[in-house]
Amino acid sequence: MRHFILLMIFDKEKARLLAVKRAESDSAFGGMWGLPGGGVNDGETIDRAAARELKEETNLEIEHISSEPFLELTLTIKDTPILLTVKFAS
């Protein structure tokens, strides 16, 4: 099963949620808007994957990440089982 992390990052002062637009070349979600995040590599912690993905996609760094997930669910995309974890970060 593949594991993915997504981050919910709020700007409290402006009441905004950070979203990223996926590259058109993304075979699953090309051109769609979504939360920053991506796959967790073998041997990588969820929090480390979250920090890496946020840096890769936005060039931002995490100051704080919630210890408990906001949401965890298992789903299947294109016949591949996926564990999806969503956490709050700032």
Q: What is the pLDDT of residues 33-87, one digit of tens each?
A: 999 999 999 999 999 999 999 999 999 999 999 999 999 999 998 899 999 999 9
**Alpha carbons 45 and 51: distance in angstroms, whole number:** 10
pLDDT at 30: 87
Query: Is pLDDT above 90 for 28?
Result: no
> Beta-strand (E) ranges in 12-79?
16-17, 20-21, 33-34, 37-39, 71-77
